[in-house]
Amino acid sequence: MYKAYKYRIYPTSEQEVLLAKSFGCARWFWNYALNLCQETYWNTGKGLSRAYIQGLLPVLKKEYEWLKEAYSQCLQVVALNLSTAYKNFFDKRAMPPKFKAKHSRQSINYPQNVKFDGDYINLPKIGLVFCRRHRDFEGSIKTVTVSRNPDGKHFVSVLIDDAKEQPELVPVDKAIGIDVGLTHFAITSDGSKFGNPKHFVKRQRNLKRKQQKLSRKKKGSQNRKKAKLAVAKVHSKIARCREDFLHKLSRKIVNENQVIAVENLNIKGMVKNHNLAKTISDVGWGMFCTMLEYKSQSEGKQYVEIDRWFPSSKTCHVCLNRVDNLTLDIRAWSCQHCGKHHDRDVNAAKNIRNEALRILALGTSASACEGDVSRPGKTSVLLDAIPVESGSQRCTT
């Protein structure tokens, strides 16, 4: 099984310059090749192969001497990533690849030749960089991605093959259904409600103040740079808090249950509702589902997604009687058929759990995960681990 480990690295100022140059070369080559792909597509209706894009490199290196400063394999990976991004796009799995901007997150990928040496990581052409290895890994290194966040922090993401098979399914002792919402982040079928931490709202005033400061700074000035960094730091803090919350909650749920069922949400469609867009992007349901999925898989537990058209709220989980009308403001209701009093969300979560168990009993769990509902942010957690950078699937935080 492949696993990803992310560590923070602390390059010296010289190494930072070298890394910045490598990021720049990779970004420039990506944008150059993407532009070429787009022109070719408009003129001929066809794409460019990976081999063709890689074949451009020797010529380009003669023309642009500075391209030689980057490790050549990192540039070759760019060609691979771009062709994969196009393949995903043509297969309707992703949006078309985008141009990479200098101010956003930067990254390069080493397909091989990276080694750990004590507290240091040895990156070709960069040298030994101090790496805070807060936990160890077992297995062989597949690829290594070095990235720099807009707040100036550097990270390595190491993809490991531990040579183990995916664990066999564990016997089902406890199953849980999870209904997600905005007032409560998650409501489970055993009646627990987890509040929505609203990370963004909490820091909104701070962010606004720093953004206003930034807007008053003169373009190109040193103070503008500083103000920009301050804004990036707030964004980064929000993202880290959200990730921390989601990791802890998903870990707890996966530890306590063997079957985990959630509703397949159309987040993209919901984000189009501008009144709720910020709030919905902030809660991070997509990331939460991704975490539940990979954490379950690595422990032989079952993660099931229920079709989002399944009437989880309107059905009584006791007698399966369905009410026709249940507006969003009704938080609790009584079943006319069996007289049971329901909490709206807990009842929905119980239905989600029961539906998942029904699907698993029928042995068609695969069909529950299918359907052409694309989920933005679905790959966001593992994105660092996956060498493919389509540049489009990352959920904006």
Active site residues: 179, 263, 345
* Distance in Å, CB of 48 to Zn ion, minimum: 60
| Closer residue to Zn ion (CB): 230 or 323 | 323
CA-based nearest residue to 5, from 300, 378, 388, 382: 382
* Distance in Å, CB of 272 to Zn ion, minimum: 35
| Closer residue to Zn ion (CB): 100 or 342 | 342
| Closer residue to Zn ion (CB): 8 or 358 | 358
* Distance in Å, CB of 336 to Zn ion, minimum: 8
| Closer residue to Zn ion (CB): 319 or 332 | 319
Contacts 24+ apart (CB under 8 A), 87-90: 88/388, 88/390, 89/390, 89/392, 90/47
CA atoms within 13 A on the CB side of 247: 9
* Distance in Å, CB of 361 to Zn ion, minimum: 22
Write the CB contacts of 337 (distance below 8 Å, at least 6 apart in sequence). 316, 319, 321
* Distance in Å, CB of 315 to Zn ion, minimum: 9
Give 193's DSSP letter.
E
Rounded (5°) CA angle 150-152-157:
85
Q: Are 98 and 105 in contact (CB under 8 A)?
A: no
The site for Zn ion (CB under 5 A) is made up of 316, 318-319, 321, 335, 337-338
Query: Does residue 21 sit in helix, strand or coil?
Result: helix
Give the other-Cβ count within 10 Å of 20's Cβ. Answer: 14
| Closer residue to Zn ion (CB): 81 or 189 | 189
Region for 229 from its dihedrals, namely left if φ exceeds 0, alpha if ψ lies in -120 to 50, beta otherwise? alpha
Write the CB contacts of 349 (distance below 8 Å, at least 6 apart in sequence). 176, 177, 178, 179, 187, 188, 189, 312
